[in-house]
Amino acid sequence: MQNKRERRVFKNLQKRFKEDKYTGFGSGANSQGARLLGRDGTYNVERTGQAFTDYYSPFHSLVTMTWTKFFLMIFLIFCVTNIFFSILYMFVGFDEFTGFAFNHAPGKFFDLLTFSAQTLTTVGYGRVNPIGYWAGTIASFEAMIGLLSFALVTGLLYGRFSRPDVKLTLSKNGVIAPFNDINALMVRIANSRKNQLLECEAIMLLSIIDKDSNKRNFITLDLEYSRINALALSWTIVHPITENSPIYGLTEADLLDLNAEFIVMFKAFEDTYSQHVHTRFSYIAEDFVWGAKFLPMYKRSEEGLQTILELDKIGSYEKAQLNETKKASEEA
């Protein structure tokens, strides 16, 4: 009985709405993961079958990794490089250097370690000096590596700072809320940074799965506003559930049965870099709270001169009575 009802709901959607075949996500649900996008906007895809050189891009990894990992990696490479050259100097022999402050081997190795760091960074304080042929050759080679390394790190830092991106704060849950005399599906976003996002645009796609063919279908949803001039406060992206909506008459159980995923594509012009930025995120059926509406997340400051935007309240909601709509099973 449940399968027949699901089939009626899906067939009704197929009759009423044209499938969007140009999303780039593919339709083979039987060969795809549970959801297409993670909450952070990353594609739920793991690539295999290619050479490591094709899969791994050092520049991409170094530019996109977190700042903590980046600086930790630079520090570890610096330490390992110094230890490596210090061991080379020790094998060459302590007698190829002059200016040691210690007479025992551990102390001399420490002096070689500081000499290596000074050579690598081209500081060169000058107390420990190479006087042998091999020691001088290795020190010259280390100095060249130091120059190249710092040029490389400088380029990576520039690449990280000059890379435009957008940091949105998303509501943890979406809501199905009363909207005018109907209901609407809503998610809320806000700009996490102080930069200006202008000419903002949003596209929302509904992804559903036909359980008979195990095929994924996409429908572009109409939004109350698909474009705003600036994301100065928050933006509640609203899909009115009118009679022309694909989810009109559907229940929470229907969306769960259809494995519904709501994908939002966001684009804006970022004023700091004077470039367009793009991001994406998605909500699955389980992420929506039915019969709820978002609470206000901004207020007037105490002195009355500014607006306080409370980002920690972006997902705050309260219960609300939904307007009655015709059931999908009645339409079918």
pLDDT digits (tens, 9 = 90+) for 118-168: 999 888 788 888 998 999 999 999 999 999 999 999 999 988 888 887 888
Residue after which a domain boundary falls, among 161, 180, 199:
161
The count of C-alpha atoms lying within 13 angstroms of the C-alpha of 281, restricted to the half-sphere facing its C-beta, is: 20
Are 153 and 194 part of one and the same domain? no
- The contacts of residue 240 (CB under 8 Å, 6+ apart) are 179, 180, 182, 184, 222, 224
CB 128 within 8 A of CB 136: no
Q: Residue 87 domain-assigned?
A: yes
What CATH number does residue 135 fall under?
Answer: 1.10.287.70
What is the pLDDT at residue 33? 54
Least confident of 31-40, 230-239, 285-294, 309-318: 31-40
Summarize the confidence of residues 309-322 as an average pLDDT.
Answer: 92
- Per-residue pLDDT tens for 170-218? 999 999 999 988 999 999 999 988 889 999 999 999 988 776 667 778 8
Residue after which a domain boundary falls, among 124, 143, 161:
161
User: 234 lies in which domain range?
Assistant: 2-46+166-331
Residue after which a domain boundary falls, among 161, 186, 217:
161
Are 230 and 267 part of one and the same domain? yes
Q: Residue 282 domain-assigned?
A: yes
* Residue 169, amino acid: T
What is the pLDDT at residue 29? 44
Q: Residue 52 domain-assigned?
A: no
Q: How far apart are the first and last CA of the chain?
A: 14
| 139-147 contacts at long range (C-beta below 8 A, 24 or more positions apart) | 139/115, 142/85, 142/116, 143/119, 145/81, 145/120, 146/119, 146/120, 146/121, 146/122, 147/122
In whole numbers, what is the pLDDT of the chain averaged over residues? 84
What is the pLDDT at residue 9? 58
What CATH number does residue 18 fall under?
Answer: 2.60.40.1400
Are 40 and 71 part of one and the same domain? no
- Per-residue pLDDT tens for 248-268? 888 888 888 888 889 999 999
Are 69 and 15 part of one and the same domain? no
CB 221 within 8 A of CB 202: no
What is residue 37's DSSP assignment? Answer: B
What is the pLDDT at residue 248? 87
Share of the chain above pLDDT 70, in %: 81
Q: Residue 51 domain-assigned?
A: no
Are 248 and 297 part of one and the same domain? yes
Q: How far is the CA of 86 from the CAs of 104, 132, 143, 147, in angstroms?
A: 16, 15, 13, 18
Domains contained in the chain, number: 2
Q: Angle 55-47-263 (CA atoms, 0-180°, nearest 5)?
A: 120
Summarize the confidence of residues 83-109 as an average pLDDT.
Answer: 91
What is the pLDDT at residue 7? 58
Q: Is the dihedral of CA 222, 225, 229, 235 positive or negative?
A: negative
Are 176 and 272 part of one and the same domain? yes
pTM over 0.75: no
Summarize the confidence of residues 23-45 as an average pLDDT.
Answer: 60
The residue assigned the tokens 């909506």 is 245
Are 175 and 153 part of one and the same domain? no
CA 315 from chain centre, in angstroms, equals: 19
Are 152 and 29 part of one and the same domain? no
